[in-house]
Amino acid sequence: MASSLMARTGVTLEQFLQMPDIEAAPGLEYLDGRIEAKAMPNPDHVLIAKRFVRRLDEFSETDGLGVTFFELRHTFDGRSILPDVSFQLAENVVVESDGRLARENRSAPDIHIEVISPDQAVQKIHAKLLHSTANGCALGVMVHPEKKTIDVYRPGRSPERLTDDGAIDFAPVLPGLVVAVAEVFSWMVVRLRRPGADPA
């Protein structure tokens, strides 16, 4: 189901954050005074988001470069959003005295990734990524599984549509991490080994 405009309008950001149901599925986002429900994912969306989390973790975790999140709330510059995937460098991660993450994240992600679901409005996702990259996010990525396109957002630049043989360069946040466009779309194909089947 597409993100739908909720009945609640005229609510301040701080009032929104005190609402008891903002984390219930589907999660709610606060966008310039509007409260909207996040679109429910389909299988392609889930598979791609899951693999982005894995790739970012594999690259960053060993050296403690940062933390990857799946639909973690980021509240910054008048908005409160739930990116499909986000990454924050270690210096931007707020940790409590016991080592656990702070319960509120009041900063933009360093990397913001959105995967379009079938009924989702591309323009709304475009606006979210523009807002993030204008307010502290160094890299935004919009993946459209049905059209098999990937757009890259960077501060102060127009979005770049990657070519079929192109790749996402995660510098300057994670220099050295490059993921090919073809690899991203290969994640939609599952390879299952069923009981009794001969291995391929």
Residue-wise pLDDT tens digits, 162-199: 999 999 999 999 999 999 999 999 999 998 887 876 66
Q: Kindly report the average pLDDT of the chain as a whole number.
A: 91
28 found inside a domain: no
pLDDT band of 7, cuts 50, 70, 90: very low
Where is 180: in which H helix or E strand?
A: strand 178-180
- In this structure, what CATH number is given to the domain that contains residue 180? 3.90.1570.10
Decide if 15 is inside a domain.
no
In a domain, 31, yes or no: no
**Residues 6 or more apart in contact with residue 14 via CB below 8 angstroms:** none
Residues 6+ apart with CB under 8 A from 155: 133, 134, 137, 138
User: What is the 3-class SS of 131-168, one letter each residue?
Assistant: HHHHCCCCEEEEEECCCCEEEEECCCCCCEECCCCCEE
Measure the CA–CA gap between 146 and 94, rounded to whole angstroms.
36
Residue 173 lies in a domain: yes
- Domain containing 169: what range? 40-186
How much of the chain, in percent, has pLDDT values that exceed 70?
94
User: Do the domain assignments include residue 21?
Assistant: no
> Can you give the pLDDT at residue 26?
80
Q: How many structural domains compose the chain?
A: 1
- Is 178 part of a structural domain of the chain? yes
Residue 26 lies in a domain: no
Residue 84 lies in a domain: yes
Query: Which pLDDT does position 186 carry in this prediction?
Result: 97
